[in-house]
Amino acid sequence: ETGVTQTPRHLVMGMTNKKSLKCEQHLGHNAMYWYKQSAKKPLELMFVYSLEERVENNSVPSRFSPECPNSSHLFLHLHTLQPEDSALYLCASSQDRGYGNQPQHFGDGTRLSIL
Amino acid sequence: DAKTTQPNSMESNEEEPVHLPCNHSTISGTDYIHWYRQLPSQGPEYVIHGLTSNVNNRMASLAIAEDRKSSTLILHRATLRDAAVYYCIPTQGGSEKLVFGKGTKLTVNP
């Protein structure tokens, strides 16, 4: 399924670099999400956007800065990351939020490695 | 968030049915029960969800116990492509938040 596309698929960066992860959904959904999946840890929800407004931030450090310019695109801006931030970053979307009964559609993630 | 218990791993043979159990004894009356799976090197994939009644779709069936404290995901004929980690996730009524646990790693033998 190509409904949610993430780029790049792999990213290696130094701790002082600035980079951005991109997510695009072609499903006409109104809600978008960022998740983090570290090695041997469950997926963790980072941010939730609904109609381009951030509605949830799960105590994520400020070195991660999300942006949602429109309902189809979601970015995660990265700066001054730490080695423990190395993980798989997943984007997801759903038709709306707040109902508990709507499936989320995930992209295949960006594998981030911090040197 | 409702706590879930799933076996760490299960094995099946190709073309045989698979029953993946999940206990969610602290689930509330308005929590939906979602199942997702994650294949290697891919993002999670939605499988099915339900509230009280059993549910069927093209991928699987979901059997929910009458007291809703447990559910079973049924793959009617396992294929090699079904080898994945399967997550059972109750969602709080009115919330889209998915809290992933460790899931069950399903191995399908040819």
| Tens place of pLDDT per residue across chain A (115 aa) | 469 999 999 999 998 889 999 999 999 999 999 999 998 788 999 999 988 888 888 889 999 999 999 999 999 999 999 999 999 999 999 998 877 788 999 999 999 999 9
N-term to C-term CA, chain A:
32
Contacts of B28 in chain A (CB under 8 A): none
pLDDT of B91 higher than 60: yes
Q: Is the peptide bond before A61 cis (omega within 30 degrees of 0)?
A: no
Mean pLDDT within B83-104: 88
DSSP 8-state code for residue B110: -
What confidence score (pLDDT) does residue B82 get?
A: 97
CB contact under 8 A, A100 and B44: no
Top pLDDT among B77 and A56 is at B77
User: Between A and B, how many residue pairs show a Cβ–Cβ distance under 8 A?
Assistant: 60
The partner residue sitting opposite A103, judged by closest CB among B46, B94, B102, is: B46
Dihedral of CA atoms A36, A26, A94, A79 in degrees, nearest 10, equals: 30
